[in-house]
Amino acid sequence: MKIGIDIRSLNTSSYGGVSEYIRNLLPALFLEGGNSHSFHLFTNSRKNPQDYSDFLSFDNVTLHEFKYPNKFFTFSCRYFKRPYLDKLIGGVDVFFSPHFLPAPVSPGTKRVTTFHDLSFEYFPEYFDRRRRLWHKYMSPAVQAKKSDKLIAVSHSTKNDIVSIYGVSEEKINIVYLGICDSVTNPPASNWNSVKRKYKIQEEYILSLSTIEPRKNIVALIRAFNDINQDERFRNLHLVIAGAKGWEYKNILKEANSSPYTSKIIFTGPVKEDEKSILYKKAKAFVYPSLYEGFGFPPLEAMYSGTPTIASSVTSLPEVTGGAAILINPYVPKDISRALKELLLDDRFATYLSREGKKRAEKFSWEKAASETLKVLTGE
C-alpha cells in the first residue's frame, strides 16, 4: 500500500507530545512496513525548516515538502476542503494524520487520525486565548467525524471521543505509545555535573512536565510543604523539571512563598541525557496532573526503576497499571501521605521500583508501530 503521513506538526518551534509521537513512531513504522508498503510524507512550511534525515534514511520513504503560505493553506483546507493532500503527494491508499489538523483527502482515499487527548474540551481555562482559538479553528470534532478510523492513545481518550464527539466506538482503535530511546537506552551522563548544574542534593523527589496549571504543580508544592514539617525529611528536596508554559508565574509564586523555597529547584528544560539520570537518581517521581491522554513521564520514571506516584484520574491508572501509587490530585495531603508511605518504607519502594519497571517494559514503539500499521492497512 501507499501510505501518506501528515508531518506538519513537526514544523512548530517547540517540541511537544505530538512531535515526540511522530519522531518516535515513524521510524518504527517504516521498519514494520518493510518492502510491503511505501510511505509518503507530507509537510508544508515556509518557516522552521526541519531535519528529516532520520526519516529519509529508509528506502520506503519519500518526502513531499511544500512551501505554501501556511495560514492561507490551512484556511483553504479548513473551509474549502482543498487541496486534496493525497493528490499533492501523488496519490495514496490511506492518509494518516498523527494530529487533528485539517487534512482533506479525495473520495476513495481513507483517512486515519490520531487523537492524543481532549484536555482542551474539559479544561479550556487551562489554555490561553490563542490556544483556545486554535483548537476551535482546527475543529477536532469535524476531523474526528471526517476520518474513516481514529487511533486513541488510551481507553480514557477513546471514551472521551465517544462521549464528547458522539463517534462510534467501532471506529476507534486503541494504540498505546512507547518509551523513547533516551530512557530505554540512556546516553552516558555525568551525575556530578548534572548535580552541579542544577544545584541538586542527593535526596530529592522529582516531577517533570510543562510548568502550567493542568499539571497541578501547586498541589505538589503544598504536599512538599506538608511533609517538610516532619524532621525525618529535612534533607529532602523537590526538583521540578520542564519548560515554562502558560500561567507559570502563579506556580513560581507558590514556590517562592513556601517556607521551604530554598529546597525547591526549577531546572527549566532538561536535555535527554539529563532527564534519564534525573529519573534514576530520584527517591520518587510524582505526577499529579489533572488530565492526561496518555502521560509519558510516569511511564518513563517507572522504566527507570523510580517508585512513582500519579493521579488517579483519566488515563493515568490505565497506563501505570497498578504499579504506582494513585492519589487524588485535588487533595495535597493525599500526595504527602503517599510520599511519606513511600519514603519511609524501603521494602515498599523496592516493590514499586520492580513492578513499575515490569509494567513500563510492556510499552514500546515497535509494538505501537505494528498496531498502527494494522489500522492503516485494515488488517
Residue 153: which CATH number?
A: 3.40.50.2000
Q: Residue 218: which of 238, 193, 190, 200 has the closest Cα? A: 238
Helix, coil or strand: residue 44: strand
> Please, what is the end-to-end C-alpha distance for the chain in angstroms?
12
Distance (Å, rounded) from C-alpha 174 to C-alpha 169?
10
Q: Half-sphere exposure (CA, 13 Å, Cβ side) for 243?
A: 7
pLDDT of 283 reads 97
Task: Write out the residue range of the structural domain in which residue 323 sits.
Answer: 181-360
pLDDT per residue, tens digit, the chain (379 aa), is 999 999 999 987 555 789 999 999 999 999 999 999 999 999 998 777 788 999 999 999 999 999 999 899 999 999 999 999 999 999 999 999 999 999 999 999 999 999 999 999 999 998 889 999 999 999 999 999 999 999 999 999 999 999 999 999 999 999 999 998 889 888 777 899 999 999 998 899 999 999 999 999 999 999 999 999 999 999 999 999 999 998 999 999 999 999 999 999 999 999 888 999 999 999 999 999 999 999 999 999 999 999 999 999 999 999 999 999 999 999 999 999 999 999 999 999 999 999 999 999 999 999 999 999 999 999 8
How far CA 2 is from CA of 61, 91, 268, 377, in Å, comes to 10, 8, 42, 10
CA contacts within 13 A on the Cβ side of 206: 33
My answer on whether 344 and 215 are in the same domain is yes
| 8 A C-beta contact, residue 24 and residue 113 | no
Contacts for 256 with CB less than 8 Å, ≥ 6 apart: none
> Tell me, what's the pLDDT at 15?
53
Residue 26 shares a structural domain with residue 113: yes
Please count the CA atoms within 13 angstroms of the CA of 116 that sit on its side-chain side. Answer: 17
Contact 338, 150 (CB under 8 A): no
Question: Per the structure block, which three cell numbers stand in for 331?
Answer: 487533595
**Phi and psi at residue 179, to the nearest 5°:** -115, 135
Q: Are residues 53 and 92 in the same domain?
A: yes
**Among positive and negative, which fits the CA dihedral 294, 41, 74, 66?**
positive
Looking at the fold, whether 87 and 120 belong to one and the same domain comes out as yes
Could you tell me if 130 and 154 lie in one domain? yes
- Cα separation, 25 vs 155, whole angstroms: 19
Number of domains in the chain: 2
Note the pLDDT of residue 50: 86
pLDDT value, residue 379:
82
Cβ(144)–Cβ(165) under 8 Å? yes
Q: Are 89 and 4 in contact (CB under 8 A)?
A: yes
DSSP string, 146-158: H-SEEEESSHHHH
CB–CB of 39/30 below 8 Å?
A: yes
pLDDT at residue 14, rounded to an integer: 52
Helical segments of the chain, H only: 17-33, 53-56, 70-75, 85-88, 119-122, 129-138, 140-146, 155-165, 181-184, 191-198, 217-227, 248-256, 272-281, 296-303, 316-320, 332-344, 346-360, 365-377
Task: Please give the Cα distance from 254 to 258 (Å, whole number).
Answer: 6
Q: Are 154 and 256 part of one and the same domain?
A: no
Q: Exposed (0-12), middle (13-18) or buried (19+): which is 86, by Cβ within 10 Å?
A: buried
Report phi then psi at 228, rounded to 5. Answer: -75, -10
Q: Residue 317, Cβ neighbours under 10 Å: how many? A: 15
* Same domain flag for 158 and 210: no
Q: At what angle do helices 217-227 and 332-344 cross, to 10 degrees?
A: 50
Same domain, 164 and 17: yes
| pLDDT on residue 185 | 86
Number of H helices, E strands in the chain: 18, 13
Q: What is the pTM of this model?
A: 0.94
Torsion of CA 378, 9, 165, 317, to 10 degrees: 80
* In a shared domain, residues 373 and 266: no
Looking at the structure, tell me whether residues 368 and 356 fall in a common domain: no
Judge if 91 and 74 occupy the same domain.
yes
If asked whether residues 127 and 110 sit together in one domain, one would say yes
pLDDT value, residue 49: 75
